[in-house]
Amino acid sequence: MDKIFIYKTATKSVSYDETQWYINDEPQPQKDGDGVSEFKAKANIEAFRLIAQDISRYTSHFKNIAVLTAAGTSMENGKNGGKTRTELWDSYKHEIEAISKILMANEGVLKEKCTSIIKAQNIEDFLSFTILYEKLNGEIKDEHGDSLRCKLEKKIADACRLKLDDTNKHHQDFIRKLTARKPSDPRVQLYTTNYDTLFEQAAQRMNYTIIDGFSFSYPRIFNGTNFDHDIVFREHTRIKQEESFVPNVIQLFKLHGSIDWEKIGDKIYQKEHTEHPCIIYPASEKYESSYEQPYFEMMSHLQTTLRKEGTLLIVAGFGFQDKHIQNVIKEAVFQNPNFHILIVCYGTKKVIEEGEKKEKWIESGITHQLTPEYVSEDGKVMPNVTILFSKFKAFVENYPYNDSYNINILNQDETI
């Protein structure tokens, strides 16, 4: 068993294997009878202690706080959790088989490519391949004349209509902990590629205000200039002759759209029920779509924020597969000297037990494959990067809360 690293910076690391646990590759004291589970537990305690210290230091040093979340943050939502790629693939099995039947009827390269994609169970590659085929050969339809691709896309959207589970408090805790800072500091910016509305539901439970680009009047219509608006105490502002910002406000940018957005004519509306949600589906065309409104507006704000002096970016549950987002982050890492990125990642790897032919999946720890560009193949981490190997819920539970700026909220869901 190789070392599994669960915390890494350019100068520090915490890891464990089946014989010991380590700080900066130095073996740490252990008790007789300790095994891999004890080593892992001790390493986790140390890693979370270090990350709590880091966050306290970063959030006091960096003026601008931005967060990027993706599918990994929706998994731990109790019985209403988001699905893994394998689970999603299985959910679309009927539509995939129907489309594949048409694609596989072609001999040669087309059949080989389709077979390879199906074997890998990669829904993004499958949709991309289907779209390319339809551009050349026309729409793939069922016996009723309905588009099979549209049916597949509808199932993808429906899988993201998640209700915040009663057991899920970490979305609320994360928002509350992030926003516990000086009222005069810039608003925390939360960027997400998720279509679901878990963060919106969490904010609503706590009576938080979200600035998301939509008008406060009804019907809610998107206009990028709404991101320039803020909320202040008018009476307080007049007395102090300075801006007195209302607490419990967060900015939300949904980079790939949302299941409660719908495009009607040339306008984007936010609605409780949508038949055709305005989202970028997981296919290669999403890079082109990201240059259209309202997605371009969101990406512009992300790029501008990451270029600002004194910016901390927290990335959680993001697989670094979206090139248009990855490129913006890389630019900040390489070119912004007063920028830091904290990556929270989780993954598994397949191993074969010694002496057996049986395969099993174990935690991968921090690897080059899990965090490309930021961890080299020989394991070195860039200077302005901190990486924690953790699921989202555990990260939130260990995220330090700054009670210096605690705002009393009458809320039955109070968990801090």
Over residues 125-150, the pLDDT tens digits come to: 888 889 888 888 899 988 888 899 99
Q: Are residues 233 and 244 in contact, defined by beta-carbon separation less than 8 angstroms? A: yes
Which range is least confidently modeled, 97-101, 106-110, 320-324? 106-110
Q: Residue 90 — very low, low, confident or very high, per pLDDT cuts 50/70/90?
A: confident
pLDDT for residue 407: 55
pLDDT at 349: 85
Domains in the chain (CATH in brackets) are: 4-81+164-405 (3.40.50.1220), 85-158 (no CATH)
Phi, psi for 202 (deg, rounded to 5):
-65, -45
The residue written with tokens 């509350």 in the block is 176
Residue 107 is predicted with a pLDDT of 72
Q: Which of 157, 397, 353 is nearest to 259 (CA)?
A: 157
pLDDT in tens, 355-396: 666 777 889 999 999 998 899 999 999 999 999 999 999 999
| Residue 414: per-residue pLDDT | 40
CA distance 90 to 234: 53
Q: Provide the b/e sequence for 179-204 (b: ≥16 CB within 10 Å).
A: bbbebeebbbbbbbbbbbbbbbbbbe
Can you give the pTM of this predicted structure? 0.90
Confidence band (pLDDT; 50, 70, 90) for 243? low
The Cα-based distances of 168 to 82, 273, 295 in angstroms read 12, 23, 28
| Per-residue model confidence as pLDDT tens digits over 244-289 | 788 899 999 999 999 999 999 999 999 999 999 999 888 776 667 7
**pLDDT band for position 84 (50/70/90)?**
confident
Lowest mean pLDDT among 89-103, 196-210, 327-341: 89-103
